[in-house]
Amino acid sequence: MRMNLPQPLVDLVARCTHLHISTWAQWQALPPVTREQLGRFSYRERCVVPLAEVERIVATSGTSGRPPFLTALGFTVRSYDFLDEWYRFSKPIVCVDQNYLRLEQYLARAGSPVPILIIDPRAPKVTAALAQAAGADTLFILEPQLRSVGDEMARCGAAANIRFLMLGGGDIGPHVAYLSRTFPQAVLLGRYAASEVEGNPIGVPCNAVTPEAPEQYYHANTDMHLDIVDPTDGTDVPWAPGAEGDLLVSTPHPAVASPLIRYKIGDRVRVAETPCARHRAYAFAVLGRANLDFVKVQGGQLRVDELARTVRQFAAVITGEFELQYTERDNGRGVELAATLYLEPRGPLDWTQFAETMAHELRVGPSFTYAQGVARGWYAPLVCAPLPPITQGVKRKRLTRV
Ligand SMILES: [Zn+2]
């Protein structure tokens, strides 16, 4: 049978002998695979290459906060090639340890074997001093370490030397104001990767972000195949300007240890309205984790089950339906959370007063409430509003990043 799939997918399907896929319709009918499903198998069962061909085995909770996930990483030699477009590395680089092996491979091939210094997240002061002493001009950093390391680098003068900065482990958008203030000379890029795809970029940056245009767009990494599906019924969404849906990642590259087929990474994406003229491809923005049960915030977590518990306490005035929408923005002192809780009232309600009561009841940590977070300047005051009429198929009782 003649295949009408692209060659990388033909190769991927051929390696999975139980699959009989030769058309787009058959490909699109394959059910997505979730992290929970993968987690039922050990990394040995998921690994298709001999252990001798495994570069590293990592345990990670990722940004989802779910239980640790053990995964084998194959040798993926092209994962940093996109950097060619952005910077010519000639001075020491400061980076998180997850990145350094791949970065080292890239630099060796690019003919720039510059020293790499590893960030010690427990010792930001030492990291900053080392960066300053070495004259580092590049920083690869993750969101949780950004403020502590960034502040120390600014204090000792190392931040002013940084010309290229890549932020992973979260959306760069809310941090752009801080980054451009702290690292005024740096080209700023977001990094979109995941341990399940062996640490490789899922998307490669289309643009450098600025305070005026803080939204990071990505193009699909050429080592991967990306599909978008409708969050409600799972049908395929064509790549078209403005299209939105949950991202599925397939990894046909032969050097991966655990190939993935239509893996639901858990992120919702939106295709840019205007196709990118520079890279001649569709660009997309990552809207955030889709249907997460909880979100890590300063001081703890916002959890769906805790919201449900709090909402139940007011069953006399509201039904059990809710949806919490949140944003994170830079307020000059740090990233501030702003949340709106949509509820279904049984009758007229004083929303302002009710929001205050909810904020005192809603726990973000074992003995820490939303209201206490507001008092510390971490969160904007909670807003409560009526839930819009139900739309067919929309899931309630969830957290949504907007
Ligand atoms: Zn582009």
Domains of the chain in sequence order: 10-220+250-261 (3.40.50.12780), 294-401 (3.30.300)
Task: Tell me the CA–centroid distance for residue 109 and ligand 1, in Å.
Answer: 24
Burial grade of 113 (CB within 10 A; 0-12, 13-18, 19 or more): exposed
The beta strand positions in 41-108, using DSSP E, are 54-60, 69-74, 93-95
Q: What is the pTM of this model?
A: 0.76
- Best-predicted range by mean pLDDT (12-26, 98-112, 223-237, 281-295): 223-237
Select from 79, 75, 113, 121 the least CA-distant residue to 97.
Answer: 121
pLDDT at 95 over 70: yes
What per-residue confidence (pLDDT) applies to 10?
77
A 10 A CB-CB count for 296 gives 15
Measured in Å, residue 221 CA sits from the centre of ligand 1 at 12
- Cα 283 to middle of ligand 1, angstroms: 6
Average pLDDT of the segment spanning 105-134: 92
Residue with tokens 């803080």: 214
Distance from the alpha carbon of residue 277 to the mean position of ligand 1, in angstroms? 7
Please check the confidence at residue 395 and state whether its pLDDT lies above 70. no
Compute the distance from residue 216 Cα to the ligand 1 centre, in Å: 10
| Cα 31 to ligand 1 centre (Å) | 30
d(CA 309, ligand 1 centre) in Å: 45
- Three-state DSSP class for 22? coil
Q: Residue 153 C-alpha to ligand 1 middle, in angstroms? A: 31
Q: What distance in angstroms lies between residue 314's CA and the mean position of ligand 1's atoms?
A: 49
Residues with Cβ within 8 Å of 375's Cβ and at least 6 positions away in sequence, in order, are none
How far is the C-alpha of 292 from the C-alpha of 399, rounded, in Å? 6
253-273 pLDDT, tens digit each: 777 788 889 999 988 899 998
| Residue recorded with tokens 């510390």 | 376
Amino acid at 35: R
Kindly give the pairing relationship between strand 192-193 and strand 201-205.
antiparallel
Beta bridge partners of residue 142, listed in sequence order: 168
d(CA 168, CA 179): 13
Ligand 1: centre distance to CA 77 (Å) = 22
Q: How far is CA 269 from the centre of its chain?
A: 11
Question: pLDDT tens digits for 43-53?
Answer: 788 888 888 88
Q: How far is the CA of 202 from the centre of ligand 1 (A)?
A: 14
Burial class (CB in 10 A: 0-12, 13-18, 19+), 108: exposed
* Interval between CA 269 and ligand 1 midpoint (Å): 16
